[in-house]
Amino acid sequence: MEANFKPDILIVDDIEHNIFTLRTLIEAHFDANLIEATSGEQVLRIINERAVDLVLMDVMMPGMDGFETARLIKNRPKTSNIPIIFISAYDPTQKLLEKGIAAGGFDYLTKPIDDNQLVYRLKMYLRFIKHEFMMNLHLRELNLKLIEEIEERKETELHLYHAQNELKAANASKDKFFSIIAHDLKNPFNGIIGLSSLLIDEYDSFPVWEQKEYIQNIKSTAESTFRLLQNLLEWSQTQTGKINFKPGQFMLHSITDEIMDLVKTFAGNKNIAVEADVPPEISVFADKNMMHTVIRNILLNAVKFTGKGGWVRLSARKTMNMVEISVSDNGIGISADNVRKLFCIDCSVSSYGTEGEHGTGLGLILCKEFIDKNGGSITIESKVGTGSTFTISIPESAHFNG
């Protein structure tokens, strides 16, 4: 650091010979950058344009004298700390010395200049200036290190923040997982086992219509439990990163036709009309199995929350570079507060369908994860007592899949 210190000394005098004498003396004893000025106005221009470490200034100059120039230097915040040494005629009364100190000068030397005295004074002041330079350099280095430490701390805090959020999501997923296993998966089996035992023990005592009703209940419970187990397995694969993601181009109707056959079976039990309007020319770029799961879940969800005699409609259309797939119903609808919670794992909504069908909310959470994975989005419009519309937007081709 010391090798980099080379002070900038400004020599001010209106007589060229005096400037030459000072320059020769300083160059013989010091390694410094020397700057010359012949007037106070020139001094002010120089210090405004560049840094100066020390000023050697004559007092008696035409126009603005040395004292007035010094006062202007000291009145500027940018230059107020520059040391000024006045050089002028012998002053037996020391009035000029007093004026120089009052103007902000550090010292006052008289002409003719005593070489040894000037060299001694410059050594003293330059030693002080060098010390200040080294201190400022050290402080700058400390400041840079502090900034680096602050940035590192911010980065660490950001990592901790993300880790805490991931841990919170992982805990919420774990809690949801165990909740489903403990209640939503266990309870249906209790119903299936109970009804089966009752039929085995009392089969002959029930009329045929009641036997069929029990069997139908067993079948419905087994089917809904199977769907839950299917969602649970797929969702657990997404959480562990083991799910197989293979996006590709395919015709949308190739999965909607199959899904509609399944959905109509469940809708028929509630006398719900299910319609589909998926033009055969529409294709999407996505993982086919994931999209099958998404559309199946949303359609079965619509059937679950639509009353007897209602309707559920599936439609698809191209819009810009995306394909919009909509599922509408005239069911019980969803409150605005619950719409905001539908895709939140730790605040998901669990409710009952129009025939008492129980839901965990896991299916919609799985749908959202699959849609995000495929570069799409999902929106919901719903009104309590009127119905709901779920709209999925999926890229039409690989070019538009982010």
pLDDT digit string, tens, across residues 177-229: 555 555 556 656 767 888 888 888 888 888 888 888 878 778 877 876 776 67
**Predicted local distance difference test score (pLDDT) of residue 202:** 84
**Predicted local distance difference test score (pLDDT) of residue 234:** 67
**Of 106-120, 234-248, 255-269, the least confident:** 234-248
Distance, CA of 96 to CA of 88 (rounded, Å): 9
**Predicted local distance difference test score (pLDDT) of residue 401:** 63
pLDDT of residue 236 exceeding 70, the answer is no
* Torsion angle of the four alpha carbons 247, 253, 258, 262, in this order, in degrees rounded to the nearest 10: 110
Architecture of the 244-400 domain: 2-Layer Sandwich (3.30)
Amino acid at 142: L
Alpha-helical segments (H) within 241-385: 253-268, 288-304, 336-341, 362-373
pLDDT of residue 374 exceeding 80, the answer is yes
Distance, CA of 145 to CA of 152 (rounded, Å): 10
**Predicted local distance difference test score (pLDDT) of residue 131:** 82
More confidently predicted of 301 and 95: 301
Q: Report the chain's mean pLDDT, rounded to a whole number.
A: 83
Instruction: Delimit the CATH 3.40.50.2300 region(s) of the chain.
Output: 2-139
pLDDT of residue 235 exceeding 90, the answer is no
**Predicted local distance difference test score (pLDDT) of residue 1:** 39
More confidently predicted of 255 and 343: 255
Mean pLDDT confidence for 272-295 = 92
The CATH classification of domain 2-139, taken from the options 3.40.50.2300, 3.30.70.100, 3.30.420.40, 3.40.50.11260: 3.40.50.2300
pLDDT of residue 2 exceeding 70, the answer is no
Tens digits of residue pLDDT in 380-400: 999 999 999 999 999 998 766
Amino acid at 355: E
More confidently predicted of 242 and 130: 130
Tens digits of residue pLDDT in 13-54: 999 999 999 999 999 999 899 999 999 999 999 998 888 999
Tens digits of residue pLDDT in 327-343: 999 999 988 888 887 77
CB under 8 Å to 171, separation ≥6 — which residues?
none
> DSSP assignment, residue 375?
T
Environment class of 71 (CB within 10 Å of its CB; exposed 0-12, middle 13-18, buried 19+): middle
**Predicted local distance difference test score (pLDDT) of residue 10:** 93
**Predicted local distance difference test score (pLDDT) of residue 346:** 59
**Predicted local distance difference test score (pLDDT) of residue 349:** 55
The owner of tokens 């299910």 is: 274
Q: In the chain, how long is the greatest CA-to-CA distance?
A: 137
Taking a C-beta distance cutoff of 8 angstroms, is the pair 287, 247 a contact?
A: yes
* Torsion angle of the four alpha carbons 293, 380, 188, 230, in this order, in degrees rounded to the nearest 10: 10
pLDDT of residue 314 exceeding 80, the answer is yes
**Predicted local distance difference test score (pLDDT) of residue 135:** 83
**Predicted local distance difference test score (pLDDT) of residue 81:** 86
More confidently predicted of 289 and 184: 289
